Amino acid sequence: MLSEPSTATVRATLPAVGAAIGDIADLFYRKLFDAHPELLRDLFNRGNQASGAQRQALAGSIAAFATQLVEHPDTRPDVMLSRIAHKHASLGITPAQYDAVHTHLFAAIAEVLGDAVTPEVAAAWDEVYWLMANALIAIEERLYAQQGVVAGDVWRDWEVVSRTEETEDVATFRLRPADGSPAPAFRPGQYVSVQVELPDGAHQIRQYSLSCAPGSAVRSITVKRVRGGGAPDGEVSRQLHEQVRAGDRLRVSAPYGDLVLKSAEAPLLLASAGIGCTPILSMLEHLAESGHGTPVTVVHGDRSPADHAMRTDHAALAGKLPDSAAHFWYEDPADGHPADRTGLVDLSGLVIASGTHAYLCGPLPFMRSVRTQLLAKGVAASDIHYEVFGPDLWLAS
């Protein structure tokens, strides 16, 4: 909880800090990478840095956390903190790295805001930072312990057992630990980080959902090649698609992620778009294997049937459940596809059972649209869960 003097100071200065937070985040990253170039080379996503997405996400999370402290002092934004902590844990973030962030973030705040940063203002925002940082450090410590790893050492070598081309731009890689040890347990919907060495010597990291059920003997990740469309292509997805074959090895983290099924009894709605189907497929396979009996509504949107990765599996897994229905929308459908399933996902014609828990994964506009539709149909906001691939820009909007 923020102290009373700091609460008053943060409340008074939040508009000014919020207005400048984008400039602060931009300067912070420049200072951080000037002092620690290895972080940009081997930890941070260079593509998200180039696009500005990571700066937006940092700005949004700081502003959201500070606002929560002053507007709702008796509660903590645990959903936001959990999502950030899981991502950090998959990267092996250490407590010492929070010290480096603190140094360069507060240097950026002082430079951007100038004389407005009095000792009282600096102390108040320092308290905000360490409340957030220490909360994340504590959550991350528990996450590391649950997986039997330590901060900074979450990586193991995995062997690629096989590779399947799902679509022109999507491939599934099946993996097993290279040392022959058992694969670590995970929950349906979770992801792993994959670290690859690029031609320039950088070791870049990306997160990929596990697209298999926990009971599988091997683990699967399904990777969409990111084509820039005028911007650079995705570095890691291009490397995986062009260079990695059966018999190769990858550095893979322990599994993390908080988009996991919360209730075994509630009706479910599993909604995805594009490559966002991967955690949903893991959930569906698990539900089918565990004999799940409550209603499950499966929703997916894509450009066309040819672009819908693992379309056959998506439909077949839904069909294995005793009380389920699958609805696929395509912007460019094949001949004979129903007219009311053409275009963007539209839930207006679907009956959503009372008490439904919804799980969403896909591009941010898709998830915003589906969430709005679900709220209009009476689904409780607390029962709508989502996963963002990349920086969480929902907070920054």
Bridge partners (DSSP) of residue 357 are 268
Q: DSSP string of 273-326?
A: EGGGHHHHHHHHHHHHHTT--S-EEEEEEES-GGGSTTHHHHHHHHHTSTTEEE
Instruction: Indicate which residue of 98, 208, 256, 330 is catalytic.
Output: 98
Instruction: Indicate which residue of 29, 129, 140, 235 is catalytic.
Output: 140
The two three-digit tokens of residue 10, written as one number: 């943060």
Question: What is the pairing mode between strands 191-197 and 249-253?
Answer: antiparallel
* Cα-based distances in Å from 21 to 16, 79, 106, 303: 8, 22, 12, 36
The two three-digit tokens of residue 326, written as one number: 């699958």
Q: For residue 5, what is the enclosing H or E element?
A: helix 4-35
Q: Is 98 a catalytic residue?
A: yes
Question: Which residues, including other chains, have CB under 8 Å from residue 336's CB and lie 6 or more apart?
Answer: none
Bridge partners (DSSP) of residue 176 are 159
- Say if CB 218 and CB 174 are below 8 A apart: yes
Phi, psi (degrees; rounded to nearest 5) at 372:
-60, -45
Burial class (CB in 10 A: 0-12, 13-18, 19+), 177: middle
119-147 and 78-91 helices, crossing angle to 10° = 60
| Catalytically active residues, by annotation | 98, 140
